[in-house]
Amino acid sequence: MWEDFNSWVQQHGLPPLTDLQFNCESKYANIYIYPQEADYTENRPLGPTWHRIDSSVRETDCHFELPISLRERPEGSCLVYVSLGTLVSADVELLQHLIDVLSRTVHRFIFSKG
């Protein structure tokens, strides 16, 4: 998948991507979306052109309640939200493998499809 995308990027006049990266770094400004509480910049420092924003989704006032099937879980189990991003969500085989593995646990999972 990465090789095809890298070829497409170059066909559109951009330089080759860094191995296994899916974006070009601009020398002017770069934005990434990640909650500050979970950010790990000490482990992967970013250059001065990078700017973090918490969310690209506006807040709403609507009330949400978990369905009973997710609220009433086996004792000792957790409810886990899994989001691997848009590109990984396109890899159906990988997601199916992950679901197969996680389905063997006592926990419940909510998967974001990207």
C-alpha to C-alpha distances, 99 to 24, 66, 94, nearest whole angstrom: 31, 20, 9
Q: How much is the pLDDT for 114?
A: 66
Give the residue-averaged pLDDT of 73-83: 90
What is the model's pTM? 0.48
Tokens representing 46 are 């970013």
Centre a 10 Å sphere on the Cβ of residue 109 and count the other Cβ atoms it contains: 15
For the chain, the average pLDDT equals: 86
pLDDT over 90 for what percent of the chain? 28
pLDDT digits (tens, 9 = 90+) for 25-73: 888 999 988 888 888 888 888 889 999 988 767 677 788 888 898 888 8
